[in-house]
Amino acid sequence: MSRDFALGRRALDSGARLMVLDTARSTNEALMQCAREGERGPLWLVTSNQSGGHGRRNRPWISAKGNLAASILEVMDAPMPMLATLGFAAGLAAQTALCTISDGASTGAAGRNKPDFRLKWPNDVLAEGAKIAGINLEVEAREGAQAVVVGIGINVVAAPSEVTPPATSLAALGVSTSAEAVFAALSDAWAWWRPLWNLGRGFPLLRNQWLSRASGLGRRVAIRSGANLIEGIFAGIDDQGCLIVDTGEHYVPIAAGDVYFGEVASMRAEP
């Protein structure tokens, strides 16, 4: 079945190539290994059976068979602070792909609304408030440039249960589709957003697009980063991609952390 993966039309035209695996431990790991062996990309690696995926901050990414695990490698020469903003292009690509798929797919029970896909800083996608996609960007120095692997996991057929924050899948939302269809849409969406990012020069435009699809803008937020907890109002994103918290006294830029909104924000929950 996984041999049916193919790039979308726009992705093909962009010059990207595709490698498909029946199973992989981690598509990010495997692609970074290709970069160490001289691959420069852009090259997608995709599977619907990933057994040892990893997420941000070295957390495991649990993915049921039938979910999408896709990574793209590109060796590029972009300044480090700019590279951090590439994750926003990936979030926009994942959100665009999910909208495309749910617009085109049958949505189960009659009268069921199309899901509302929102972006959660730094680069998760939420559907009805639960996580449906995660992104992990990995960078290694390679011959004066950077090998960048952008890994995107999308819950197509199932989501892990009893996780914090809660997770969902396209199937749970009534969207009947396959990892292959989601990948074709994702590769095309990436071929749209990646050139707009333009090695970071396009980030001001992307930031506006991202904020228009953001979850929790203007709402109460708590960010936990290690032992630190910052609370306030989610006021925006700065030009480095940091989340800006209005504490009432200062605007504080946050570079990394776990975000909690609303009720949960005031619980100060440990992840």
Asked if 71 interacts with ligand BTN (CB under 6 A), we say: yes
**7 within 8 A of 184, measured Cβ to Cβ:** yes
Asked if 48 interacts with ligand BTN (CB under 6 A), we say: no
Q: In angstroms, give the least distance from the CB of 146 to ligand BTN.
A: 18
| CA–CA–CA angle 225, 190, 121 (5° rounding) | 20
C-beta contacts of 108-113 below 8 A and 24+ residues apart = 108/174, 108/175, 108/176, 109/174, 112/174
Asked if 102 interacts with ligand BTN (CB under 6 A), we say: no
Give dist(CA 203, CA 84) in Å, integer. 10
Binding mask 124-143 for ligand BTN (x = CB under 6 A): x---------xxx-------
Asked if 61 interacts with ligand BTN (CB under 6 A), we say: yes
Amino acid at 54: H
Among 56, 118, 120, 194, binds ligand BTN (CB under 6 A): 56
**169 within 8 A of 163, measured Cβ to Cβ:** no
Of 14, 43, 61, which is closest to residue 147 (Cα–Cα)? Answer: 43
Binding mask 8-37 for ligand BTN (x = CB under 6 A): ------------------xxx---------
Q: Give, for 252, the enclosing helix (H) or strand (E).
A: strand 251-254
Asked if 69 interacts with ligand BTN (CB under 6 A), we say: yes
Window of 10-18, 49-57, 181-189, 256-264 that interacts with ligand BTN by CB under 6 A:
49-57
Q: Is 268 exposed, middle or buried (0-12, 13-18, 19+ CB in 10 A)?
A: exposed
Among 49, 55, 166, 238, binds ligand BTN (CB under 6 A): 55
Q: Is the peptide bond before 165 cis (omega within 30 degrees of 0)?
A: yes
Among 9, 59, 112, 114, binds ligand BTN (CB under 6 A): 59
Of 56, 83, 91, which is closest to residue 213 (Cα–Cα)? Answer: 91
**147 within 8 A of 34, measured Cβ to Cβ:** no
Asked if 160 interacts with ligand BTN (CB under 6 A), we say: no
Asked if 153 interacts with ligand BTN (CB under 6 A), we say: yes
Please, which residue, 205 or 256, has the CB nearer to ligand BTN?
256
**8 within 8 A of 188, measured Cβ to Cβ:** yes
Q: In angstroms, give the least distance from the CB of 131 to ligand BTN.
A: 7
Please, which residue, 63 or 232, has the CB nearer to ligand BTN?
63
Computed from CA positions of residues 76, 79, 84, 88, in that sequence, does the dihedral angle turn out positive or negative? negative
Please, which residue, 73 or 173, has the CB nearer to ligand BTN?
73
Window of 1-9, 67-75, 103-111, 188-196 that interacts with ligand BTN by CB under 6 A:
67-75
Please, which residue, 74 or 124, has the CB nearer to ligand BTN?
124
User: What are the residues binding ligand BTN (CB under 6 A)?
Assistant: 26-28, 50, 53-56, 59, 61, 69-71, 124, 134-136, 151-153
